[in-house]
Chains A and B, each alone.
Chain A
């Protein structure tokens, strides 16, 4: 679906409001929207909500051979997908620019900053290393995808547990989660992207733009930073020209924001760990609010299945016996056989001949000698209207050439089969024979 265009008056309204330091949702210039982090039952699964923007993150791991030039390092793989439910404009093949930009930014932020210790992912140098795969899915687009995605990625990585491995000389043992508790990844620091939107050629600045604000912005500055105030990645797009002190000011703001967000992430991770240890309920089911009109929960319920056996037996007793579906092949001549009857010709009934009700039998089982050909069924066809010649095909008669017999008009032996216009079925059957040969 095409993107709904933004009307001029909406654009002007947003820009005027920004000039007066007002945002549509009532936030201040440097305010972030509410961030909500929820975890699933599997390790490494989380959903991050930044206002209404929602991202699902999942981390998985696999043992693979390492890259040739990095034989002692594990492999990291990031993939952000813009799901079609996130916005009507996200169709496969339509979003490549945005997708490439976001994926590249995410990779630079997480891979190049070396936040994950890849050396610790090595199992057997040169042979087996862990490949960590981070899949992010954007579920709802309300602006600032990159921030939400980077938070989801780092939270999922911190939450993930990989299976334990032990190496003793030549032997490598991989333990299942039941045998030994899975171990967390070794993460040095948590880089988080902070976005700044610029308006009116850099005069006005907003942190965490929502979707409407993104539509009218001139340019975007993304700074990825960790809580130790180290810049991991910085990217300015949109062609706006920024002054040096503007960029420095943004980085200071980013430092403050990152500290807040990192605190929030730590708290969420600790909460989840506590709940899991104490054996409480965890997972997405817990994050569905109670007492809400749009939500419904139901605990484990037992189902009475005592009478289903009787019911089933009743149904089977009343039902007709299943039709003889496997039809034996009909041998026309040595080398030419026919199995079954084919589907009904869907080229349209120009005139409906009366259709008999199918009783189930498709082809009578006809057992033939090799030399003789059975033609006895010609008269078996019941109510037959006058043969209706409908097809324009030149070959209307089905002729089977045989060395010692006269060519005859043959119809397939069908007992109570659906009536079709004879010529049509002949044409059809001939086609089948050709393919069979």
Chain B
């Protein structure tokens, strides 16, 4: 799907932010996205957030092995490959999170007994990796023309020891943070599709992070 994009997409309220008492106006690192850059996969996308970059390729709906077929919907498979070394348990758990998110939005019932495979390759990791993977997967599914009920975007935030909120943290910020929260939000109503958190935080902070992520989400939705 190729849509002309305007460079003046606004992220929430893009004007100069008034710093709140505990969370000074934060800025998101620069991001970029390119679709249809690989010739073999049905859909492909490269998503860059700051220095973190993930390449996604989608094949589907395609033939599925009989052992994996589901009689009334498509079998969604997500494969995440790290850049260095063999994939381990962390990759498996991320694959599962991304798969659950995709299954919630992809209209699998339109393509029963087929397989939709999303392959993600980490090109560079500088923080907010799961959010970047989610975004790349969504863009690649769009490029492949897989029917979806909504787009989704991944937003990652970190809470440091003073309670300050950082959106799209870098590796250094993630290491020093008290908690890291990643959310997948859908594009229609900014509802929460998936959340993955690590660390200690209060429920007030959780709601704040979620509210901040929901402010960002319409901006991401304009990419699609």
Q: Which residues of A contact B (CB under 8 A)?
A: 1-2, 40-42, 45, 47, 52, 54, 56, 58, 60, 81, 83-88, 133, 135, 137, 139-142, 283-285, 288-289, 292-309, 311-313, 315-316, 322
* Cβ contact of A139, chosen from B5, B29, B121, B204, cutoff 8 A: B121
Q: Closest CB of chain B to A46's CB: distance in Å?
A: 10
Pairwise interchain contact A301-B14, C-beta atoms closer than 8 A: yes
Q: Closest CB of chain A to B87's CB: distance in Å?
A: 10
Pairwise interchain contact A140-B20, C-beta atoms closer than 8 A: no
In the bound assembly, the distance between CA atoms of A375 and B191 in angstroms comes to 44
Pairwise interchain contact A316-B46, C-beta atoms closer than 8 A: no
Pairwise interchain contact B40-A135, C-beta atoms closer than 8 A: no
21 inter-chain pairs at a CB distance below 8 angstroms, sorted by A residue, are: A41-B124, A47-B123, A56-B83, A58-B83, A85-B38, A88-B62, A137-B121, A139-B55, A284-B48, A285-B30, A285-B48, A294-B2, A296-B223, A297-B31, A303-B13, A303-B25, A303-B215, A304-B18, A305-B165, A307-B20, A312-B211
Residues of B36-82 contacting chain A, CB below 8 A: 36-41, 44, 46, 48, 51, 53, 55-57, 59, 62-63, 79, 81
Pairwise interchain contact A88-B59, C-beta atoms closer than 8 A: yes
In the bound assembly, the distance between CA atoms of A135 and B82 in angstroms comes to 10
* Cβ contact of B15, chosen from A2, A133, A142, A304, cutoff 8 A: A304
Known: A296-B32, A316-B207. A303 touches B38 (CB 8 A): no
Residues of chain B with a CB closer than 8 A to A58's CB: 83-84
Residues of chain A with a CB closer than 8 A to B48's CB: 284-285, 288
Pairwise interchain contact B46-A288, C-beta atoms closer than 8 A: yes
Closest 6 CB pairs of A and B: A85-B57, A312-B207, A304-B13, A85-B119, A308-B211, A312-B208
In the bound assembly, the distance between CA atoms of A2 and B59 in angstroms comes to 13
* Cβ contact of A305, chosen from B31, B46, B62, B212, cutoff 8 A: B212
B199 within 8 A of A: no
Residues of B201-224 contacting chain A, CB below 8 A: 203-205, 207-208, 210-212, 215-216, 219, 223
- Besides A85-B41, A308-B215, 17 more A-B contacts (Cβ < 8 Å) are A2-B63, A40-B123, A56-B83, A58-B84, A84-B119, A135-B84, A139-B55, A140-B39, A142-B39, A285-B51, A304-B17, A304-B25, A304-B215, A305-B212, A307-B211, A311-B208, A313-B204
In the bound assembly, the distance between CA atoms of A135 and B28 in angstroms comes to 31
Q: Closest CB of chain B to A297's CB: distance in Å?
A: 4
In the bound assembly, the distance between CA atoms of A323 and B30 in angstroms comes to 41
**Closest B-chain residue to A286, C-beta based?**
B32
* Cβ contact of B19, chosen from A41, A283, A306, cutoff 8 A: A306
Residues of chain B with a CB closer than 8 A to A283's CB: 51, 124
* Cβ contact of A302, chosen from B16, B57, B63, cutoff 8 A: B16
In the bound assembly, the distance between CA atoms of A126 and B71 in angstroms comes to 60
Residues of chain B with a CB closer than 8 A to A52's CB: 38-39
Q: Closest CB of chain A to B168's CB: distance in Å?
A: 9
B110 within 8 A of A: no
In the bound assembly, the distance between CA atoms of A37 and B42 in angstroms comes to 24
Pairwise interchain contact A294-B17, C-beta atoms closer than 8 A: no
Residues of chain B with a CB closer than 8 A to A60's CB: 84
Q: Closest CB of chain A to B43's CB: distance in Å?
A: 10
In the bound assembly, the distance between CA atoms of A301 and B25 in angstroms comes to 10
Pairwise interchain contact B121-A309, C-beta atoms closer than 8 A: no
Residues of chain B with a CB closer than 8 A to A141's CB: 40
Residues of chain A with a CB closer than 8 A to B15's CB: 304
**Closest B-chain residue to A314, C-beta based?**
B207
In the bound assembly, the distance between CA atoms of A168 and B79 in angstroms comes to 47
**Closest B-chain residue to A58, C-beta based?**
B83
Pairwise interchain contact A308-B23, C-beta atoms closer than 8 A: yes
Q: Closest CB of chain B to A98's CB: distance in Å?
A: 15
Pairwise interchain contact B32-A298, C-beta atoms closer than 8 A: yes
* Cβ contact of B81, chosen from A83, A288, A311, A312, cutoff 8 A: A83
Residues of chain A with a CB closer than 8 A to B167's CB: 303
In the bound assembly, the distance between CA atoms of A322 and B207 in angstroms comes to 14
Pairwise interchain contact B17-A309, C-beta atoms closer than 8 A: no
Pairwise interchain contact A308-B20, C-beta atoms closer than 8 A: yes
- For chain B, the bracket of interface size reads 35 or more
**Closest A-chain residue to B119, C-beta based?**
A85
**Closest B-chain residue to A62, C-beta based?**
B84
Known: A40-B123, A284-B48. A303 touches B28 (CB 8 A): yes
Pairwise interchain contact A88-B31, C-beta atoms closer than 8 A: no
Pairwise interchain contact A303-B17, C-beta atoms closer than 8 A: yes
In the bound assembly, the distance between CA atoms of A299 and B32 in angstroms comes to 8
Pairwise interchain contact B28-A88, C-beta atoms closer than 8 A: no
Residues of chain B with a CB closer than 8 A to A135's CB: 83-85
Pairwise interchain contact B215-A293, C-beta atoms closer than 8 A: no
In the bound assembly, the distance between CA atoms of A292 and B5 in angstroms comes to 9
* Cβ contact of A298, chosen from B9, B18, B38, cutoff 8 A: B9
Residues of chain B with a CB closer than 8 A to A304's CB: 12-15, 17-18, 25, 215
Residues of chain B with a CB closer than 8 A to A88's CB: 40, 59, 62
Which of the listed residues A41, A294, A300 has the most CB atoms from chain B within 10 Å of its own CB? A294
Pairwise interchain contact B121-A303, C-beta atoms closer than 8 A: no
Which of the listed residues A40, A289, A309, A313 has the most CB atoms from chain B within 10 Å of its own CB? A309
Pairwise interchain contact A83-B123, C-beta atoms closer than 8 A: no
Known: A293-B4, A296-B33, A312-B208. A305 touches B40 (CB 8 A): no
Residues of chain A with a CB closer than 8 A to B26's CB: 302-303, 305
Residues of chain B with a CB closer than 8 A to A299's CB: 30
B7 within 8 A of A: yes
Q: Closest CB of chain B to A229's CB: distance in Å?
A: 34
B182 within 8 A of A: no
B128 within 8 A of A: no
Residues of chain B with a CB closer than 8 A to A294's CB: 2, 34-37
B126 within 8 A of A: yes
**Closest B-chain residue to A211, C-beta based?**
B40
Pairwise interchain contact B44-A85, C-beta atoms closer than 8 A: yes
In the bound assembly, the distance between CA atoms of A300 and B11 in angstroms comes to 11
**Closest B-chain residue to A292, C-beta based?**
B34
Pairwise interchain contact B81-A81, C-beta atoms closer than 8 A: yes
